[in-house]
Amino acid sequence: MQRKLTDLAAIATLNDADLLHIVDVSDTTSDPAGTSFKVTVGQLKATFRPTVVDLSEAVDGITASFSVPSEPQYIVVNGATYFKDAGFTYTPLTVTLDFVPDIGMSLRAII
């Protein structure tokens, strides 16, 4: 018996081993609309987990520009959050804060 997804009950809690149905629309080997695959909740979570780049050792009390591997979503300085064009600017591989952090401040880029 087939049922619509909208007819199913919602799950109360998710486990990393729970399975989801995914259609890869770029893989048309099984069907022109895409190929079906299974994915675990754990795999999905890992895909969306941000990368944290600790720049604290580069804080010298003089410099406001720091090298980063890619554009950050936001910057955290001593627990305060700063966003692009509202606390820092980004040019390829460099983030420049609107201020110079003091020596000893923690500085992390969330990418």
Strand bridging mode 80-84 / 87-91:
parallel
- Give the pLDDT of residue 2: 80
Residue 64's contacts (CB-CB under 8 Å, 6 or more residues apart) are 96, 97, 98, 99, 100, 101
**pTM for the complete prediction?**
0.60
Question: Which stretches of the chain drop beneath a pLDDT of 50?
Answer: none
Question: Domain locations in the chain?
Answer: 5-48, 52-110
Instruction: Say how far apart CA 35 and CA 19 lie, in whole Å.
Output: 16
Give the count of beta carbons closer than 10 Å to the beta carbon of residue 88: 21
- Give the pLDDT of residue 1: 63
